[in-house]
Amino acid sequence: MTDDALLRRSLDAVRTLREQVGRLRARTEEPVAVVGLGCRFPGGADTPERFWDLLREGRDGIVDVPADRWPGERWYAPDRDTPGTAYTRRGGFLAEGAHAFDASFFGVPDAEAREMDPQHRLLLEASWQALEHAGLLSGTRAEQRIGVFVGISGSENALRPRPLRDAGPYTATGSAISVAAGRVAHTLGLRGPALAVDTACSSSLLAVHLAVESLRRGECAAAVAGGVSAMLSPAVMVALSRMEALAADGRCKVFDAAADGYARAEGCGMVALMRAGDAAAVRAPVLALIRGSAVNHDGRTSGLTVPNGRAQRELIGQALETARTDPHDVDYLEAHGTGTPLGDPIEVRAAADVLCAGRTSEAPLRIGAVKSNVGHLEAAAGVAGLIKTVLALRHGEIPGNLHLRTPNPRLGVERLPVVLNDRTSPWPVHADGRPRTAGVSSFGFSGTNVHVVVTEPPAVPPRETGPERPAHVLALSARDPQGLREAAARLGDWLARHPEAALADVCHTTTARRAHFAHRAALVTASRGELTDWLAGLATADAPEAACGGRQLSASDVVGARDRAPARPVAFLLDATADRAARIVAALHPTHPGFRAHYDQCATDLTTATDTTPADPDRTDPAPGPDRSALARDVRTIACQVALVRTLADWGLAPGAVAGGNTPGNLAAGLLGGVLDARAAGGLLAARHTGAPAPAALPRRAPALRLLHGPHAAEMTADQ
């Protein structure tokens, strides 16, 4: 081999290696999209929307210890030196209680539900909510490799006294931390990695970090990640009081001079995640982008639970490097912010060292912490801050901190380009087009620290709008009649609070992007008023099927039930006439993208095979042509029926068999069944209309298609 040949070969090898490295780097650095949110937080914030209302309105979720947990007065003593007591009796408790759970919805037997740690129950609910929000529970997507990453730190349920004789077959699985993630995967049929992690207060944000890494490695196609915490025993409250870690008034006074400890809280938050490219491919709702994240440990400090400012600086720098984000691009920091006199100053100064170097007061760094609203959710604290940040990006506003009256002088904010966000304020759009960017921090008293860099997604270009459909289908379903009534009430309430929502979008999301269950009701509606009246009737009916109004469908008419296979095979009879097909195509082709794509493909293939001019899909008469109009009509009729069947199959209603009731129907059935390709079907059609020879692949007078027997079945031969 000559020197020139060797050189060319070497250059080709180098070029190939560079391309491989580039592809690998692009995958490992690809942003991860937040495509769904689910939460159960204090203050009645059991949906992301209600959580945002609580934040924006500046409400406080702290309450007295509920009676269903433990006798608050029995374990309370204001004197901090009283052994065996807590000096606070307040916290961020869930409004519905940690024990509220619809076991039948998840198919969990009552005996098993009684043994489940309430944390498992909260995880199931929030994970379902996040995945449904993302559209990942509709169709067969749940059977894909969806990972489950859960931050959970111990079980207070195990601290509750109970006789050993009460232990049963579900006791071990009901309390195991590892089962917390496995139960979500098992119940929802998710086949990606499923794991639980415990780094104390940073557990849930670490779970998000691990999910991002797993997605970038290709271990899963999507993931649900977050954390959970439930306060079920006075023992932990007493122990933390002995450490003097808690605030006496039960509130996190983050960054305030009066900060004296944190307020314990409980809840669950989960986020659904996909690689940004995959989310775009399936048109998932991208709420925000995780650009990068990092994790480290404090190392040796003056005490096990004492934070390390140097480690925090290094952590933020690592996260910015993986996100390829300049420190000056960070507009907002969602701080860990427990409200402790030691932790707050260390965190603010460390963040300022990284994010404020060279920054001016004209573009200050805004800092806030969700703990001032709902308390410290411990293992679920980090994901609560992440969900708050995602909602702030979506709404273009930064919620204000509560209980911030006099800034802690140890913070030194008067000398820094920093704003402690004490009131809800706009989050301005950058004039140069840079995305709004935030950092989210979470530090565990185990010493493990996590930081995530989040940005708003790119603006989505307006969709191409065609003619409005004359009517829409809305399908609701639930596990039981009461659930169906509640679903109708929730949707009616949502519509009342969102008058700007388009009827088409509401119907599509409700019908096509959610899982469907056995108890169903559906409506064909052309107006918002008709829909709201129907929902009101359904919500108050003694029996949901008694609801009236509009053109109501029976359950068997609903085509959005992607997850339910028919009990018996379904056969389609294709016998549309040319006139009927023309009307269908004229109505659906301009208004339904799925039908249009299937129709155009089939019509193109057939017109190529028959060398004819296609019929205009927007007209009920064929395209002009001296003696080809009948052939063009048949092409349109065949393409219409093929498109209808394939569109229904896209919705999950695929036939077990197809039969034709006339010649176009026979040919459409042959195409759908794989008996004919477009060339053969076109040849048969041309032979029928023009007398051209039949395709050589079909022997004359030999049966070409054998379709279902019955009154409309037909056997087509090559000379028909």
- Over residues 315-325, the pLDDT tens digits come to 999 999 999 99
Output the pLDDT for position 702.
33
Output the pLDDT for position 478.
85
The token duo for 215 is 């997605």
Output the pLDDT for position 564.
41
Helix (H) or strand (E) holding 217: helix 203-217
Contact 524, 471 (CB under 8 A): yes
For residue 64, pLDDT beyond 70:
yes
For residue 710, pLDDT beyond 60:
no
For residue 679, pLDDT beyond 80:
yes
For residue 8, the Cα-to-chain-centroid distance in whole angstroms is 49
Higher pLDDT: 706 or 440? It is 440
What's the burial of 24, exposed, middle or buried (CB within 10 Å: 0-12/13-18/19+)?
exposed
Higher pLDDT: 643 or 591? It is 643
Higher pLDDT: 702 or 336? It is 336
Output the pLDDT for position 349.
95
- The fraction of the chain above a pLDDT of 90, given in percent, is 57
Terminal-to-terminal C-alpha distance of the chain: 65
What's the burial of 541, exposed, middle or buried (CB within 10 Å: 0-12/13-18/19+)?
middle
Kindly report the CA angle at 330 between 329 and 332, in degrees rounded to 5?
150
Output the pLDDT for position 614.
63
For residue 588, pLDDT beyond 70:
yes
- Over residues 380-393, the pLDDT tens digits come to 999 999 999 999 99
- Over residues 397-417, the pLDDT tens digits come to 999 999 999 999 999 988 999
Output the pLDDT for position 625.
41
Sequence length of the chain is 720
Q: pTM to 2 decimals?
A: 0.79
Kindly report the CA angle at 690 between 688 and 693, in degrees rounded to 5?
75
Contact 371, 262 (CB under 8 A): yes
For residue 342, pLDDT beyond 70:
yes
Question: For 680-685, what is the mean pLDDT?
Answer: 86
Q: Mean pLDDT of all residues in the chain? A: 86
Q: How far is it, in rounded angstroms, from Cα 295 to Cα 380?
A: 17
Q: How far is it, in rounded angstroms, from Cα 182 to Cα 454?
A: 28
Output the pLDDT for position 132.
92
Output the pLDDT for position 543.
55
Contact 176, 220 (CB under 8 A): no
- Over residues 74-90, the pLDDT tens digits come to 999 999 999 999 999 99
Helix (H) or strand (E) holding 32: strand 32-40
15 three-state secondary structure: helix
* Per-residue confidence band for 701, with pLDDT thresholds at 50, 70 and 90: very low
- Over residues 133-166, the pLDDT tens digits come to 998 986 545 457 999 999 999 888 888 777 777 7
Task: Count CA within 13 A, CB hemisphere, residue 110.
Answer: 0
For residue 716, pLDDT beyond 80:
no
Output the pLDDT for position 696.
57
Output the pLDDT for position 143.
55
Contact 139, 652 (CB under 8 A): yes
* Per-residue confidence band for 168, with pLDDT thresholds at 50, 70 and 90: confident
| Amino acid letter, residue 344 | D
* Per-residue confidence band for 638, with pLDDT thresholds at 50, 70 and 90: very high
In 314-469, DSSP assigns E strands to 332-334, 365-368, 397-398, 418-420, 425-426, 437-443, 448-455
Collect all residues with Cβ–Cβ distance below 8 Å to 692 and sequence separation of at least 6.
683, 686
Output the pLDDT for position 465.
63
Output the pLDDT for position 548.
38
Question: For 211-228, what is the mean pLDDT?
Answer: 97
Q: How far is it, in rounded angstroms, from Cα 529 to Cα 526?
A: 9
- Over residues 450-469, the pLDDT tens digits come to 999 999 999 877 766 666 77
- Over residues 496-552, the pLDDT tens digits come to 988 888 888 888 888 877 777 878 888 888 889 999 999 999 998 865 554 433 344
Contact 378, 236 (CB under 8 A): no
Output the pLDDT for position 699.
39
Higher pLDDT: 406 or 613? It is 406
- The fraction of the chain above a pLDDT of 70, given in percent, is 86
Output the pLDDT for position 561.
36
Output the pLDDT for position 139.
53
For residue 627, pLDDT beyond 50:
no
For residue 211, pLDDT beyond 80:
yes
Output the pLDDT for position 169.
84
Collect all residues with Cβ–Cβ distance below 8 Å to 602 and sequence separation of at least 6.
638, 639, 642, 643, 671, 678
For residue 581, pLDDT beyond 70:
yes
For residue 610, pLDDT beyond 60:
yes
